[in-house]
Structure 1
Amino acid sequence: MGEVRPPDPVAPTARFVTGSTLRHVVVMAATGSVGLMAIFVVDLLSLLYIARLGDPVLTAAVGFATIVQVFAVSINIGMMIAVGALVSRALGRGDVGEARRLAASSLVLSLVASGLVTALLLPLLTPFLTLIGANPETVPAARTFLWIALPSSLLMALGMGFSGVLRAVGDARRAMNVTLAGAAVTAVLDPLLIFGLNLGIEGAAITVVIARLAFAWVGYSGAVRIHRMVAQPSLAAVLTDAGPILHVALPTVLTNLAPPVASAFLAHVMAGFGTETVAGNAVVDRVVPVAFGGLFALSGAIGPILGQNWGAGRFDRMRAALRDAALVTGLYVATVWLALVVARGPLTALFGLDGAGADLLGFFCHAGGAIWFFNGLLFLGNASFNNLGFPLTASALNWGRATLGTMPPALLGAHLAGPEGAMAGMGIGSALFGAIGLALAFRVVGVLERREAAASVEVAGGRCVGGETPRLETD
Structure 2
Amino acid sequence: MTLPMILGMILLMTFGLVDTFFVSLLGTDQLAAISFTFPVTFTLISLNIGLGIGTSATIGRYLGGGQTHLAREYATGALMLSFALVGILALIGLFTIDPIFRLLGATEEHLPYIRDYMVVWYAAGVFLAMPMVGNSVLRASGDTKTPSIVMAAGGLINAVLDPLLIFGWGPFPEMGIQGAAVATMIAWAVGVFYIIGLLIKRDLMLARLLSRQELRETSGTILKIGLPAAGANMLTPIAAGVLTAIVATYGTEAVAAWGVGSRLESIASIVILALSMTLPPFISQNMGANKFNRVREAYRLSLRFVLGWQLLVFGVMWLLANWIAALFAEEPAVAELIQLFLAIVPLGYGLQGVIILSNSSFNALHRPMSALVLSLLRLFVFYVPFAYLGSVIDGLNGLFWGCVVANLCTASIAFLWFNQVVSREQGEQTGQLQRQE
> Is the contact made by 1:271 and 1:277 (CA closer than 8 Å) also made in structure 2?
yes
- Please list, as runs of the form range in 1=range in 2, the aligned pairs for 1:34-433 lying within 5 A after superposition: 34-53=7-26, 55-195=27-167, 196=169, 197-226=173-202, 228-232=203-207, 233-235=209-211, 236-433=213-410
| SS at 2:105 equivalent | coil
What is the alpha-carbon distance in structure 2 between the residues aligned to residue 214 and residue 337 of structure 1?
35
What is the alpha-carbon distance in structure 1 between the residues aligned to residue 58 and residue 165 of structure 2?
40
CA 1:312–1:83: 2 relative to 1, 3 Å? farther
> Is the contact made by 1:85 and 1:307 (CA closer than 8 Å) also made in structure 2?
no
> Is the contact made by 2:15 and 2:184 (CA closer than 8 Å) also made in structure 1?
no
Question: Deviation of residue 285 (structure 1)?
Answer: 1.3
CA 1:418–1:358: 2 relative to 1, 3 Å? farther
Question: Deviation of residue 49 (structure 1)?
Answer: 1.0
CA 1:116–1:177: 2 relative to 1, 3 Å? same
CA 1:440–1:353: 2 relative to 1, 3 Å? farther
Q: Which amino acid aligns with 2:247?
A: M
The residue aligned with 1:467 is none
What is the alpha-carbon distance in structure 1 between the residues aligned to residue 289 and residue 205 of structure 2?
22
What is the alpha-carbon distance in structure 1 between the residues aligned to residue 77 and residue 415 of structure 2?
31
| SS at 2:381 equivalent | coil
Question: Deviation of residue 131 (structure 1)?
Answer: 0.7
> Is the contact made by 1:92 and 1:310 (CA closer than 8 Å) also made in structure 2?
no
Per-residue CA deviation, residues 330-367 of structure 1 (Å, 9 max, x unaligned), is: 23212211210121011111112545432332122222
Stretch deviating more after TM superposition (311-320 or 281-290) = 311-320
What is the alpha-carbon distance in structure 2 between the residues aligned to residue 346 and residue 42 of structure 1?
21
CA 1:451–1:33: 2 relative to 1, 3 Å? same
What is the alpha-carbon distance in structure 2 between the residues aligned to residue 310 and residue 90 of structure 1?
17
What is the alpha-carbon distance in structure 1 between the residues aligned to residue 307 and residue 67 of structure 2?
36
Stretch deviating more after TM superposition (397-406 or 124-133) = 397-406
Q: Which amino acid aligns with 1:169?
A: S
What is the alpha-carbon distance in structure 2 between the residues aligned to residue 241 and residue 311 of structure 1?
24
Question: Deviation of residue 384 (structure 1)?
Answer: 1.1
Q: List runs of 5+ in structure 2 lacking aligned partners.
A: none
CA 1:377–1:224: 2 relative to 1, 3 Å? farther
TM-score (norm 1): 0.86
Question: Deviation of residue 221 (structure 1)?
Answer: 4.2
The residue aligned with 1:33 is 6
Per-residue CA deviation, residues 116-159 of structure 1 (Å, 9 max, x unaligned), is: 21122211111110111111110121122111111222221111
> Is the contact made by 1:84 and 1:303 (CA closer than 8 Å) also made in structure 2?
no
What is the alpha-carbon distance in structure 2 between the residues aligned to residue 355 and residue 237 of structure 1?
58
The residue aligned with 1:23 is none
Q: Which amino acid aligns with 2:342?
A: C
> Is the contact made by 1:90 and 1:99 (CA closer than 8 Å) also made in structure 2?
yes
The structure 2 residue matched to 1:448, chosen from 425, 429, 434, is 425
> Is the contact made by 2:53 and 2:229 (CA closer than 8 Å) also made in structure 1?
yes
What is the alpha-carbon distance in structure 1 between the residues aligned to residue 340 and residue 358 of structure 2?
27
| SS at 2:42 equivalent | helix
Identity of aligned residues (%): 28
Per-residue CA deviation, residues 32-87 of structure 1 (Å, 9 max, x unaligned), is: 1211111223431221111112x211111111122211111111111011112222
What is the alpha-carbon distance in structure 1 between the residues aligned to residue 341 and residue 45 of structure 2?
25
> Is the contact made by 1:170 and 1:304 (CA closer than 8 Å) also made in structure 2?
no
What is the alpha-carbon distance in structure 1 between the residues aligned to residue 66 and residue 432 of structure 2?
20
What is the alpha-carbon distance in structure 2 between the residues aligned to residue 72 and residue 319 of structure 1?
33
